[in-house]
């Protein structure tokens, strides 16, 4: 499964969860539901996976990835009115720390809001299935 196929499957799960639960729950509820849906697809899911952050070869902190799918895509979940710029920056920092190439920011507000981030810039026309 390519990263593009995997992200589409993850986004599909987000819509399924939101259709069933609606909005208004805490992030943890959506996180648990997403883990269940992703595992139904046979995907390997790590929940609240600790990730060490280093600087100049030294450990400087740790964060916990909400979901880590197939050890290739990190997912940050929110249950807010709208995704803020700092949420996107947070995800990019997670990609830097994990050295993963693709991350998803999923917001379970009044509707599902999705932001896909890449560790390296990829113009829209370079994505599979995108229109230049």
CATH number at residue 40: 3.90.320.10
Residues 101, 3 contacting (CB under 8 angstroms): yes
Look at residue 125 and tell me if it is in a domain: no
Look at residue 130 and tell me if it is in a domain: no
Q: Give the H/E segment covering residue 28.
A: helix 27-40
CA 96 to chain centre: 14
Look at residue 132 and tell me if it is in a domain: no
Look at residue 49 and tell me if it is in a domain: yes
Query: How many residues would you count in the chain?
Result: 132
Phi, psi of 101 (to 5 degrees): -90, -30
Residue pLDDT, tens place only, 36-92: 999 999 999 999 988 888 889 899 989 898 999 999 999 999 999 988 888 888 888
Alpha-carbon distance of 18 to 112, in angstroms, equals 7
Confidence (pTM): 0.83
For position 92, what pLDDT does the model report? Answer: 86
Look at residue 124 and tell me if it is in a domain: no
Domain count, the chain: 1
CA 114 to chain centre: 9
Alpha-carbon torsion (48, 83, 115, 38), positive or negative = positive
Look at residue 127 and tell me if it is in a domain: no
Percent of the chain scoring above 70 in pLDDT: 90
Domain that includes residue 39, residue range: 3-119
pLDDT band at 132 (very low <50, low <70, confident <90, very high): very low
Look at residue 63 and tell me if it is in a domain: yes
């Amino acid at each position: 499964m390519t990263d593009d196929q995997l992200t589409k499957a993850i986004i599909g799960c987000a819509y399924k969860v939101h259709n069933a639960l609606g909005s208004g729950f805490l992030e943890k509820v959506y996180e648990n539901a997403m883990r269940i849906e992703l595992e139904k697809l046979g995907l390997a899911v790590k929940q609240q996976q600790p990730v060490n952050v280093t600087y100049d070869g030294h450990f400087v902190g740790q964060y916990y990835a909400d979901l880590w799918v197939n050890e290739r895509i990190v997912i940050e979940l929110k249950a807010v009115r709208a995704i803020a710029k700092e949420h996107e920056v947070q995800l990019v920092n997670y990609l830097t720390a994990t050295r993963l190439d693709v991350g998803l920011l999923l917001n379970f507000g009044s509707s599902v809001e999705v932001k896909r981030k890449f560790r390296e810039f990829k113009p829209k026309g370079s994505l599979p299935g995108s229109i230049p």
